[in-house]
Amino acid sequence: MSNAPTLVWFRTDLRLADNPALRRAAERGAPLVCLYILDEGGDRRPPGGASRWWLHQSLAALAQDLARHSVTLHLLRGDPARIVPDLARRCGAGLVVWNRRYGAAERALDGALKNDLKAGGVAAESFNSHLLREPWQVKGAATGQPYKVFTPYWKASLALGAFEAPLPAPGGLTGWAGDVGGLPLDALGLLPTRPDWAGGLRATWTPGEAGARARLAAFLDRDIRGYAERRDMPAESVTSRLSPHLAFGEIGPRQIVQALAFARSAGDTPASERDEAKFLSELGWREFAYHVLFSHPALAREPMNPRFAAFPWHEDAGALAAWQRGRTGYPLVDAGMRELWQTGTMHNRVRMVVASFLIKHLGIDWRAGEAWFWDTLVDADPASNPFSWQWVAGCGADAAPYYRIFNPMLQGLKFDSAGAYVRRFVPELAALPDEHIHAPWQAPAGVLARAGVRLGQTYPRPIVEHGAARDRAMADYWASAEAT
């Protein structure tokens, strides 16, 4: 055992349990220098506003968890390419460890750091904490190439056998007593101040490893019942709501799989086999997004299908702003966009509807929507966010065809038939009867008057007409097809 400290660099793995890098450091037996760096260097994508709020809370929770082991979480800001080697040299580190990320810029940083550290006589090791399978582990049997369609990808991943078991939180941790020169959490400037728009986020979420465990337990104990049939109903509490905890690494997918298996074996879950399989496939969809990001690193910037490279998108700042504010005149779309602003999240079915509306009803470039979600989602994820937007736009992997245009009225009638979701987030329509809640402009004048709805005043008229918008979208699509 060496007394030269081990430097543990936390990134998207803000937890103690099932943290292979932290486990490796603990096993080495040397004092730990635990740090988080707010990355302000290179071309790594900075977090959006909602993610910055969550990061503040998550770092506070991680610092408390480490402090119970008498270990300090040191906070720094700047370029990790400079900070990590400098800190390793100043503290005389014998080893630097971290858990892997999968974007091209992050991989390039990690590779350069390993070389730099090695040149300075410091070993560096990296591990997988974020995925069930790493992207290079699942390849087409016949081609050896990455999969482009989800179903064969997930079958191939399952065919590799049982997933690795999660690691317990390590014990016997010892912090390094030297001076790192870190910053107080508030100095990172992660919280909104003028104005403080995060009240709805605080009321909705409990960031941190303990919050993630509690959310998983509640899901397996109660909310998973009927998941396969009811997960598309935005007014119901059925979805896991684990995505932000996964995005920040407050819980890992191996822990979720193990907890589901333990609950099943103990008979402690109300889930059917179909519920469990569907939930696992949603974890698989997240895995597939990272599989795609690894082989298509420009996922947030460039369409995977080159046919869409010169698509005739329409620039309409007014329509984009109406969509962002939840003022399109389509209640299901507006409810989703207001849920996003108030809570930092949006039901998955509604995400597809609002994305389709922006892209196909308004003809606005999917990248504008992806950027808005990146800034406003607490679960903004470098793989899932652009992957999902490309899926809706018809230009990504295993994508829905472009001509699949969601009708927001029919989607509302099918998945929010009683209008409970719309009434929650668009309260100015709350008094409308169910049969008019998803298309108030079609309601008789007397019905609108009794409900206190004045179209164009208390609630906007539709900013586009559905049939005309669909016709324009298809005209753009076929014009693009002819051009290529």
Q: List, by residue number, the catalytic residues.
A: 282, 285, 313, 348, 366, 389
User: Rounded to the nearest 5°, which phi and psi values hold at 8?
Assistant: -110, 115
Q: What are phi and psi of 37, to 5 degrees?
A: -115, 120
Name, in order, each residue with C-beta under 8 angstroms of 316's C-beta and a sequence gap of 6 or more. 362, 363, 364
Q: Which residue type occupies 109?
A: L
Main-chain phi, psi angles of 246, to 5 degrees: -70, -40
Helices within 357-435 (DSSP H only): 366-376, 384-393, 408-415, 420-425
Token pair recorded at residue 233: 């109903």
SS3 39: strand
The total of other beta-carbon atoms located within 10 Å of residue 464's CB is: 19
DSSP character for 10? Answer: E
The answer to whether 367 and 357 have CB atoms below 8 angstroms apart is: no
Closest residue by Cα to residue 441 from 457, 420, 462: 462
Alpha-carbon span 304 to 2, nearest angstrom: 48
**Separation CA 14–CA 209 (nearest Å):** 7
- DSSP symbol at 400: P
Cα pseudo-dihedral 143, 146, 147, 148, rounded to 10: -110
